[in-house]
Structure 1
Amino acid sequence: MKEITFKLNGRIWMEIDGEQMLGPGRVELLERIQASGSLRQAAIQMKMSYKQAWDIINHLNSQLDAPVVISHRGGKGGGTAVVTDQGIQLIQEFHCLQQKFHDFLIENSKNV
């Protein structure tokens, strides 16, 4: 009989009141906003509509104690978007949690 090797896999999501709030895609959006200084550019880079990106950020901002992104409407030169200290902390906490989860999966894959 052939021996089967299993590998554990999964994704981390942070929830508030049972609602998914933050996962890998949203963290990537925050990181791209931080890098580019633009919600529009971040949306383009992620191949999502500006409205979808705007809705995600608005939802995060409305559900958390403090905004994660502050945006300023643009004129000729376009607007800007800044990831706040709260947003940066959220990114860091997510990556820390993701690393712990990854380590857990590796460690427990040996026992399957």
Structure 2
Amino acid sequence: MSPRLRLRLQFEEGARLGPGKADLLEHIGATGSISAAGRAMKMSYTRAWALVEQMNDTFAEPLVSSARGGAKGGGAQLTEAGTAVLTHYRQLEAAAATAGAPQIAAIEALRKGAHDD
């Protein structure tokens, strides 16, 4: 397995946006549900909801909007801001991986066992 780059943004007030939250946003967008997104990530609904609340509190506009379940069912969806944050984050990941590929390869070449065939 080749090394992979994992990117985490640390904001001044201590809030973070990293691969786990980005994946959660992606799953919410795909499933329309915080609980289904949490299940897909082997995460409790409580944990998934707490992460959504953290993200909604971090940004000027909520990233996820939700409606409680019940007879008509609930659901969740990414807001326009949520889609934008996820898109920018994924683009940043791709740019960092591309720009850092030579350095990642050089570091991998220096690892123990990298030359064992």
Range of TM-score over shorter length: 0.7 to 0.9
Q: Which residue of the other structure, out of 78, 84, 92, is the alignment partner of 2:79? A: 84
| TM-score scaled by length of structure 2 | 0.81
Work out the CA distance in 2 between the residues paired with 1:9 and 1:78: 39
Identity %: 31
Paired residue type of 1:54: W
Q: Summarize deviations over 1:36-84 as a string: whole Å, max 9, x none.
A: 1111111111110000000000011011100000110011243110100
Q: What is the match of residue 103 of structure 2? A: 108
Paired residues, what number?
A: 106
Which gives a bigger RCO, structure 1 or 2 (Cα 8 Å, sep 6+)?
Answer: 1
| TM-score scaled by length of structure 1 | 0.84
Work out the CA distance in 2 between the residues paired with 1:23 and 1:93: 12
CA RMSD of aligned residues (A): 1.9
Change (3 A) 1:111 1:52: closer
Q: Summarize deviations over 1:25-45 as a string: whole Å, max 9, x none.
A: 111110110111111111111
Residues 71 and 79 in structure 1, CA contact (< 8 A), matched pair in contact too: yes
Q: What is the match of residue 67 of structure 1? A: 62
- Structure 2: tracts of 5 or more residues without a match: 108-117
Work out the CA distance in 1 between the residues paired with 2:54 and 2:3: 31
Residues 60 and 68 in structure 1, CA contact (< 8 A), matched pair in contact too: yes
- Structure 1: tracts of 5 or more residues without a match: 1-6
Specify which structure has the higher proportion of strand: 1
- Secondary structure of the corresponding residue to residue 74 of structure 2: strand
Work out the CA distance in 2 between the residues paired with 1:110 and 1:79: 46
Change (3 A) 1:102 1:51: same
